[in-house]
Amino acid sequence: MTKRGRWAQHPELLQERSRDGVVRASDLESLEMNSRTIYTRCLPGGPWQRLLPGIILLHNTEPTKDQLVTAALLYGGAETLLTGGEACVRHGLRPSAIPADSGLHLLIPHERKVRSTGFVTMERTVRLPSPHVRREVPLAPLARATTDTVRRLKDTEPVEMLLIEAIQNGGCHPRSLLWELNHGTKRGTAIPRRLLTEWMDIRSMAESRAKMLSQRLSPPPSQWNVAIYNAEGRYIGRPDAFWEDVGLVWEIDSFEFHFRKSDYARTLERNARYVAAGLVVVQTLPSRLQNDPDGVLAELRAAREVAATRPRPDIRLEAAA
């Protein structure tokens, strides 16, 4: 009788050597299974399937995302990190803010030569970061995973959406994201570098959209980020936009764009100061600047009409430093 190896007498060894059913072909060979047997079992109709070169899934049904990630890490070898969109999701960012991508992006040490194939993109790097382990999966830090994702995007909108998500819900500072872009490959960084540079200089990321939208108003705001004081010199606030002639304030802020949700209480206090000073306030959710720009413009025009019927409040202004 033909000797079939330890795996035939002890099939439980296959699962013990695997990670969630994913295993290297070399580990199967160590159980005295020859390569011909391994790959015969991966043929159409067989009980197994080949996910990547040298990586086997011990069943023939659709692999899960976790199994694909495991396969990619085994294929990459020691020190391989998951980066890109899937890493962003595993760091806790909302999937809706991350462009759909069926592939996985991995970082490997520069000296290792592992080619991209199938559903994996293998990127050699001299700046291999320390892993952030989530549920036993080594991830690139969120700032790195985010920039690795956006530099592969061609359109401004998805780049902007993911950067905002990383900053607001992921706790990344624009400066840390810009540092990653400045210290890595410059390919594909023009759009995110421009956005992050602008966001370093303005009060909120939404303001860049608001400024573009306000050009459709007549007149547009007379000031941006100007400090307002009452007649006694007491500070009232520094609105995103202000129409000085009628005392109209426009603020673009909400939970969606605060670095810390505790800032919301200060937002309510600030708006109360505006009202007490006789100013008319329009507050806009950042998402509406993109999803309902005509509605935002209609609200601002209506608010200006109301403000114009009232005496201008006794205030003074001080330009932002």
- What single-letter DSSP state applies at residue 19? B
**Cβ pair 129, 144 in contact under 8 A:** yes
Q: In which band, very low, low, confident or very high, does the pLDDT at 85 lie, cut at 50, 70 and 90? A: very high
Query: In one letter, which amino acid is 40?
Result: T
Tell me what the mean pLDDT of segment 233-245 comes to: 91
Residue 44 and residue 70 share a domain: no
pTM exceeding 0.75: no
Is residue 7 predicted with pLDDT exceeding 50? yes
CA distance 94 to 42: 36
Residue 244 and residue 195 share a domain: no
pLDDT in tens, 143-163: 999 999 999 999 998 998 899
Residue 226 and residue 163 share a domain: no
Residue 256 and residue 312 share a domain: yes
Residue 23 inside a domain? The answer is: yes
Residue 73 and residue 197 share a domain: yes
Give the end of a domain, one of 179, 201, 223. Answer: 201
Residue 134 and residue 182 share a domain: yes
Domain carrying residue 167:
66-201
Judged by average pLDDT, the poorest of 210-224, 245-259, 266-280 is: 245-259
Residue 87 and residue 193 share a domain: yes
Residue 1 inside a domain? The answer is: no
The DSSP H or E segment spanning 107 is strand 104-109
Which residues are CB-contacts of 234 (< 8 A; sequence separation ≥ 6)? none
Residue 305 inside a domain? The answer is: yes
How many domains, in total, are found in the chain? 3
Residue 77 and residue 43 share a domain: no
Q: In which band, very low, low, confident or very high, does the pLDDT at 291 lie, cut at 50, 70 and 90? A: confident
Residue 236 and residue 173 share a domain: no
Is residue 302 predicted with pLDDT exceeding 90? yes
Residue 75 and residue 44 share a domain: no
Give the end of a domain, one of 201, 232, 254. Answer: 201
Query: Residue 125, exposed/middle/buried by CB under 10 A (0-12, 13-18, 19+)?
Result: middle
Residue 249 and residue 193 share a domain: no
Sheet with 55-57: strands ordered across: 22-24, 55-57, 49-52
Residue 45 and residue 89 share a domain: no
> b/e map of 16-50 (b: 16 or more CB within 10 Å)?
eebebbbbbbebbeebebeeebbeebbeeeeebbb
pLDDT in tens, 166-206: 987 788 888 899 999 999 888 999 999 998 987 775 555 67
Tell me what the mean pLDDT of segment 229-258 comes to: 84
**CATH number for the domain including 222?**
3.40.960
Residue 303 inside a domain? The answer is: yes
Is residue 1 predicted with pLDDT exceeding 50? no
The DSSP H or E segment spanning 96 is none
Q: In which band, very low, low, confident or very high, does the pLDDT at 114 lie, cut at 50, 70 and 90? A: very high
